Chain A
């Protein structure tokens, strides 16, 4: 029952903030004139505010679920689209499509971003599997550096061909340019989320290792690469429409797994909801702080996200202080970071 209560609470918070989000902006919308069929107000709602809200929700849900899938499959709590080279590969793909197919449409760029994101993530995970690090921290470190190298190549190409400015809109995540007709690609995330939910148990099994999954009759390599591809596709759709949003896929699954454990069926819904709430609050903050201007989501999430991440890291290093506070009965012995259950509430 307690688990359901978390989901319900998250869902109601999400609904409330979604409502707020619709009415925050330079042009004042009010409910009364909307109900009176004020055409102008309705247009603003339908062309700008609603698409923005939908893009935010899809981004939040998508990125956090992508992170959750990658963490489960790689058996490492520090892997995510931003620490696994997925985001930087997608950016490189967009640049390539802009360079070689000058008149490329949004669809063309999306296809390229899909391809490179999948290739980048596969390469990274392939090496991780080959090398088998003893220390869990090595994986994100290598991932970050791998991502840096790919971004360096992107930077070199864009500088050389004078595409710096054009590319910057895919490097910096920003919701302010989202209007009707320009963002619909994020809806690709929804079917991917459903697939992820259906295969959640498979991902869990694959996360327990190759031998274990063979034992249970799950095709390890197939599920591993299918899962990674789903995560990469979700990330690429976000990068193409919104730009890069760092740390979301890293932090949200970690916070949720403190409360819900590692069973993906159980935590997937909460992860998606909490991701959406988190990014929605960040976006509203970014719109209010410097009103009437905006701070891109990339920066608000970057600041809050990195602070939370460093906090998680320090918690992980000093688990003893938190063990005392853990409520008895729900012991999770799989990984140290999920032992820190019973800590502070999210937000």
Chain B
């Protein structure tokens, strides 16, 4: 049993502890079912979110061969929110395409996939892979997307805005639990469709020339993986709203912990660390801070500092 496998086992144990702690601590036995009806969907949503963000971050970092960039830093979650707002804005809140949550979610996913491939394709092409330019342009794009979103929200009919608010402004205290089953199906389909490409990730990390030399259809694989990343981020954002720095933190923690290039370990590590962070953080906020703050604030402040540290520590290799 390798040392990394042991680490994975320890992480799994930690996830179980955190999940149990979150689910059962401070529970009033008289209202057990009632409490469960709140806590179970939230628990599931957090596990799914950690899975999406953790795996997407590692895959994305390996594709573009850089550890300080994650999809959310490039505004991918802002793009998803913009698309959802745009759909409600154009179709109106009474349209069947908007009222049925599953249909609305799938519509968002399709548009998101197309838009993201075009926009980020142009971004990578124009910047010729210069990572600092990608980051700066991506950060600005995030502002652009959220400015357009707020403008649309200001312009739209107040009734429609209400609908949007219900379906969109998800946060960890108000998760979107209607699409749990569908989200799980989406994730399984993505993983199944990409199983070959994921296996090639270890080779992709070697660089474009090496990968092609070893017989990988590089461009196609990267495009498919990027598509998968987009959909995973969209799923996570649909469920809990935008959290920018989570992916960055957990992906890098996983890389530090495992010190390997095997993506099986890296991805699982990142996913499990994400689960521990989210469950532990949410349990702290609900029971210790009694909701006086939100987990996104913690992740953004802590993650921002961690990002600065990474930027400064790695600047020789950038």
Contact among A131, A152, A293 for B154, CB-based, below 8 A = A293
With beta carbons under 8 angstroms apart, the residue of B140, B305, B318 that contacts A149 is B305
Residues on the A chain within 8 Å of B139, using CB: 141, 144
Q: A152-B301, A159-B292, A160-B292 are in contact. List 11 more A-B contacts (CB 8 A).
A: A131-B312, A137-B135, A138-B132, A138-B315, A141-B132, A144-B139, A145-B307, A159-B294, A159-B297, A293-B155, A307-B144
The CA of A247 and the CA of B147, in the complex, are separated in Å by 12
Q: Is the CB of B143 within 8 A of A302?
A: yes
Chain B residues with CB under 8 Å of A149's CB are 301, 304-305, 308
**Residue of A134, A317, A318 ringed by the most chain B CB atoms within 10 A:** A317
With both chains docked as a complex, state the minimum distance between the C-beta of A141 and any C-beta of chain B, in angstroms. Answer: 6
Are B137 and A141 in contact, CB atoms less than 8 angstroms apart? no
Instruction: Indicate with 1 or 0, residue by residue over A266-302, a CB within 8 angstroms of chain B CB atoms.
Output: 0000000000000000000000011001011011101
Chain B residue, CB-CB nearest to A78: B136
Q: Tell me, yes or no, whether B210 is within 8 Å of chain A by CB.
A: no
- Choose from B126, B146, B304, B318 the contact partner of A145 (Cβ within 8 Å): B304
Q: Given contacts A142-B311, A145-B311, A306-B140, is CB(A295)–CB(B132) below 8 Å?
A: no
Say how far A127's CB is from chain B's closest CB, in angstroms. Answer: 9
- Contact code string B116-153 (vs A, CB < 8 Å = 1, else 0): 00000000001110101101110111011011101100
Q: How large is the interface on A (under 10, 10 to 19, 20 to 34, 35 or more residues)?
A: 35 or more
By a beta-carbon cutoff of 8 Å, the part of chain B in contact with chain A is: 126-128, 130, 132-133, 135-137, 139-141, 143-144, 146-148, 150-151, 154-155, 292-294, 297, 300-301, 304-305, 307-308, 311-312, 315, 318
Q: How far is the CA of A329 from the CA of B318 in the complex (A)?
A: 37
With contacts A293-B154, A299-B154, A302-B147 taken as known, whether A317 is within 8 angstroms of B297 at the C-beta atoms is: no
**A interface majority secondary structure:** helix
Complex: how many Å from CA A138 to CA B254?
25
Knowing A138-B315, A141-B139, A145-B308 are in contact, say whether A156-B293 is a contact too (CB < 8 A): yes
Q: Are A155 and B154 in contact (CB under 8 A)?
A: no
* Residues on B with beta carbons closer than 8 Å to the beta carbon of A313: 127, 133, 136-137, 140
Contact A303 B308 (CB under 8 A): no
B301 contacts A156, C-beta separation under 8 Å = yes
Interface of B is mostly: helix
Q: How many A-B residue pairs have CB under 8 A?
A: 102
With A137-B132, A156-B293 as known contacts, state yes or no: A142 contacts B308, CB within 8 Å: yes
- With a cutoff of 8 Å between Cβ atoms, the chain A residues found around residue B127 in the complex are 313-314, 317
Contact (A141, B144) CB under 8 Å given A135-B318, A148-B300, A155-B297: no
| Contact of A303 with B318 in the complex, beta carbons under 8 Å | no
Q: Complex Cα distance A295/B147, Å? A: 11
Kindly supply a per-residue 1/0 record for chain A positions 62-81, scoring 1 wherever the CB is within 8 Å of any chain B CB and 0 otherwise. Answer: 00000000000000001000
Structural contact, A310 and B140, CB atoms closer than 8 A: yes
